[in-house]
Amino acid sequence: MRTALLQSSGHPGSTVENLKVLDEAAGRAAAAGAGLLVTSELFLTGYAIGDEIGRLAESADGDCADAVAEIATSHGLAIAYGYPERAGEAVFNSVQLISADGTRLANHRKTHLFGCFERDHFTPGDLPVVQAEIDGLRVGLLICYDVEFPENVRAHALAGTDLLVVPTAQMHPFQFVAESVIPVRAFENQMYVAYVNRVGPEGKFEFVGLSTLAGPDGVARTRAGRGEELVLADVDPAFLAASRENNPYLRDRRPGLYGSLV
């Protein structure tokens, strides 16, 4: 499945403008043969927008979800997008996956909140593994800081995730996560990992780009630079199956030795 990574910070504070950016990117991705388009963390609203997060937050089946579903169906590809999700009084940092026919397939609430900003504005989720099927692939969802905890990714590996989708807001000086941690996570867990970042200055943050799709061999299939960019790469089920057959990590685990850690 060809996967498109939309490395963009869009227009912080404007869901209307960000939906326009998403629509345009979906058109380009579909024209290039993509079956899935992934955005950055909190793409629909912006990340460093303070209390606007609460005002712009919507339910998982709200108006923005309907708008994204229309974009997905009009271009014929699935979309995973970051947004602030409201559920009662709580606001979650979420990613939702919508199929090419507009069906809401899966919704993940970020389980590990990073820094005071996120802890001040969001409630942490409590489901480590959320998955859905797209074109025969088992797609899992995490967000940014979630992927830096090896237990999270290993849980996905044990649950059979083939492609782990990770919208992110990775900031300076932590670019080593995109450059080094993500390929290692893909290798040690025998999966593809699509890690999609924001770019440039936003509030007090400087987002570093470097979005990547890494394969189970630890090799980046594509890597963006530091600017607004749409990059594409293929997720190959046959290569994944062969890699899993040859790599012993998951077979050679001895949970009895470290069960207390998990």
pLDDT tens for 97-128 read 999 999 999 999 999 999 999 999 999 999 99
Among all residues, which ones are annotated catalytic?
Answer: 41, 110, 144
Please list the rounded mean pLDDT of every run of 10 residues in the chain (262 residues): 97 98 98 98 97 96 98 98 97 98 98 96 97 97 98 96 98 95 98 98 95 98 97 98 96 88 68
Residue 28 phi/psi, 5° resolution?
Answer: -65, -40
Whole domain around residue 181: which residue ranges? 2-261
Three-state SS sequence of 186-222: HHHHCCEEEEECCEEEECCEEEECCCEEECCCCCEEE
What pTM does this model have?
0.97
Q: What is the pLDDT of residue 261?
A: 73
Structural tokens at position 229? 């960019």
- Give me the residues paired with residue 260 across strands: none
DSSP E strands, 26-150: 36-38, 78-87, 90-98, 104-109, 131-134, 137-141
Do residues 88 and 75 make contact, with C-beta atoms less than 8 angstroms apart?
Answer: no
Q: What is the pLDDT of residue 262?
A: 63
Q: DSSP secondary-structure letter at 58?
A: B
- Number of domains composing the chain: 1
CATH code of residue 71: 3.60.110.10
